[in-house]
Structure 1
Amino acid sequence: MKFIKKAVYSYISQKFMNGCTQYNSLEVRKSCRSKAQARTAFSENDIPHAQGEIFINPMNAIRFARQHGFPLVVKPNVGGFSRGSYFPIRNYRELWKAALLAKIWWPSSVVEQYLEGKNYRVLVANGKVVSVIQRYAPFVQGNGKDSISTLIGRENAIREEMGLLECMYPLQKGEQTRKFLAKQGYDLNSIPKDQEQVKLFHRIALAPGGVIETIPVNKVASDNIRLMEKVLDTFDANILGIDVIMEKGIEHSFKDQKSILLEVNSRPFVKMHDFPRYGQKEDISGVFEDLDKLQVAQADVF
């Protein structure tokens, strides 16, 4: 049985988790595996988080919406890379659709309150915050002259020239993009105003064309640094990728704004930290040199 578990885990790692770290023990990874577990740990340790619950029957998600209102997010209880996640959900029609589609990825799903703010991934390792990136949904910025289609082509050329396509993805002009633009009253031939940002999709993830910006750690509020390091200690982990949304920004204390820690990633995708679209690329190789020296229990077992 142990051999089978190792073989399955090896396949999953190679197929779906290329670029993810493997520095936490099986016990730690189990404690981080589901969104419900993370939310329970947040609650027990006075860490700001969203109200939410697990559901199998979509009617429970509808009941949650009636109690807490919109916007909401629905996502698989177990998963990563934002697969099967839907947000922001603003009405019952969108909620029904999301509640059903999330089941493709995992039988049990999570419905949570959603905070519209700035989205970050905070990498914490060896007891301290080592890298912070802000994540953006795919977008183009208008210049008052060119169409959205032209702007997409120009942005993709920039990404290729910067070497980002080794990790990021080009912006798309397919049906998904066209439908999302139509909801905003645009099409690919529309000409945005100068400096106007036009979102091409709602999901803050790399696959649909999202990008990242590095935020220097010394710009992060000290309260937020301590909070993220507390999360690492809470899970007794060697490394975590912590997803957080902050209303004003990570430069301001979480105590002075609405803030929600979404989840913790025990095998964070650290490759993306090397491919910022905005900001300076950081050298965090020394962090992994130290982690490589650790003896990790059952690192190859799921």
Structure 2
Amino acid sequence: MATKLIHWFLSRFFLSGCSDYNPLEVRRACRSKAQARDAFEKNILPYAKGKTFIGLYSAFKFSDKYGFPLVIKPNVGGFSRGAYFPIENKVQLLKAGIGVKKWWPTSIIEQYLLGKNYRVVMTKFGIMSILRRYPPFVVGDGVQTIDTLINVENALRKKMQLMPITHLIPKNRAIKKHLKQQNMDFFTIPTDKQRVYLHHKISLKLGSSIEIVDKDTLTDNNKQDLIKVLNFFNANILGIDVICKQGIEVDFDAQQCIFLEVNSRPFLKMHDNPRYGEKPKNLNVFYNKLEQLEITDNEKY
């Protein structure tokens, strides 16, 4: 009874709307970010050097060894909840180390790489979809204020019927604070074609957006590396997160690259209606095959 309550709680508050096509043993095997890091190491894939910690002393020791920038996040979770990055100094590290504890007792500290952020959904039936994920941003025209540009973008999202998956960009304190750090505010007029990021975090609730990437751009070597991760966990489906300095069309080992984590219950609704790129045409083929799988223990934790 207790495990069912735990499963309900996590599914309701942490994994709402996520897929559930893997058996319990797979979910348990790749539940934490530490487990994912171990899988990447065993498969000789580039990954962020990291450490699980409870007390802040271990986090500060890690920063002394690897330097900055860093990222701190809960060991269990998703949707960028409780993640702090980029951490550039020990004052920020202290604040992040305290703040992350409201999400999960154990935390992860890792090296941080600024690059192109991808989610690749691998299935036992092949590559289902590839997304590139963007923090919320607007593009200037030399005339309109950031406030107006946000209104224009939000109107376009409504016209495209992207909600509720892709959210409207809010004009909240988090966005205002991030603009202030760039010496901007809502009344700033960006130059023509200037891209202004409204937050550093990729979070749907903050108005982040997604782009469908053509699966054919994935190199053969990268495809084989992703298949290795799927097979390592013996999974039916995995959402694999990776950051590439150049892009997913370049071999992982030929560029600066970090494998971040694996998701045994990936949020697939993001892939149905993207903000950028063409809507994928073959997802129903994968949904139909996944629905035919017999999973008998997916109500257990």
Partner of 1:161: 159
CA contact (8 A) 1:58 1:99 kept: yes
Q: Percent identity?
A: 47
Given candidates 244, 250, 273, the residue that maps to 2:248 is 250
Given candidates 90, 102, 105, the residue that maps to 2:103 is 105
3-state SS, counterpart of residue 165 of structure 1: coil
Partner of 2:228: 230
> Could you report, residue by residue, the CA deviation over 1:210-256 in whole angstroms, capped at 9, with x for unpaired residues?
00000010111111111111110011100000010001000111121
Given candidates 79, 82, 93, the residue that maps to 2:80 is 82
Partner of 1:287: 286
Partner of 1:300: 299
CA change 1:20–1:278 in 2 (3 A) is: same
Partner of 2:261: 263
| Structure 1 residue 198 corresponds to structure 2 residue 199 | no
1:62 maps to a residue whose letter is F
Partner of 2:183: 185
| Structure 1 residue 45 corresponds to structure 2 residue 33 | no
Partner of 2:126: 128
3-state SS, counterpart of residue 19 of structure 2: coil
2:121 maps to a residue whose letter is L
CA change 1:292–1:82 in 2 (3 A) is: same
What is the Cα deviation at residue 15 of structure 1?
A: 4.5
CA contact (8 A) 1:25 1:299 kept: yes
What is the Cα deviation at residue 179 of structure 1?
A: 0.9
Partner of 1:143: 141
CA contact (8 A) 2:14 2:77 kept: no
Q: Which runs of 5+ in 1 are unaligned?
A: none
What is the Cα deviation at residue 4 of structure 1?
A: 3.7
CA contact (8 A) 2:15 2:78 kept: no
CA contact (8 A) 1:123 1:130 kept: yes
Paired with 1:186 and 1:8, the residues of 2 have a C-alpha distance of 44
Greater than 3 Å deviation, 4+ residue runs = none
3-state SS, counterpart of residue 204 of structure 2: coil
Given candidates 3, 17, 33, the residue that maps to 1:5 is 3
1:206 maps to a residue whose letter is L
> Could you report, residue by residue, the CA deviation over 1:178-218 in whole angstroms, capped at 9, with x for unpaired residues?
11100001011000000101111110121111000000101
3-state SS, counterpart of residue 64 of structure 1: helix
Compute the RMSD of aligned alpha carbons: 1.2
What is the Cα deviation at residue 16 of structure 1?
A: 4.0
Partner of 1:170: 168
Paired with 2:104 and 2:120, the residues of 1 have a C-alpha distance of 26
What is the Cα deviation at residue 11 of structure 1?
A: 4.6
CA contact (8 A) 1:126 1:291 kept: no
What is the Cα deviation at residue 90 of structure 1?
A: 1.3
Partner of 1:36: 34
> Could you report, residue by residue, the CA deviation over 1:89-111 in whole angstroms, capped at 9, with x for unpaired residues?
11111111111111010011000
Paired with 2:162 and 2:255, the residues of 1 have a C-alpha distance of 33
3-state SS, counterpart of residue 201 of structure 1: coil
CA contact (8 A) 1:149 1:189 kept: yes
CA contact (8 A) 1:127 1:233 kept: no
What is the Cα deviation at residue 172 of structure 1?
A: 1.4
What is the Cα deviation at residue 41 of structure 1?
A: 1.7
Paired with 1:151 and 1:234, the residues of 2 have a C-alpha distance of 45
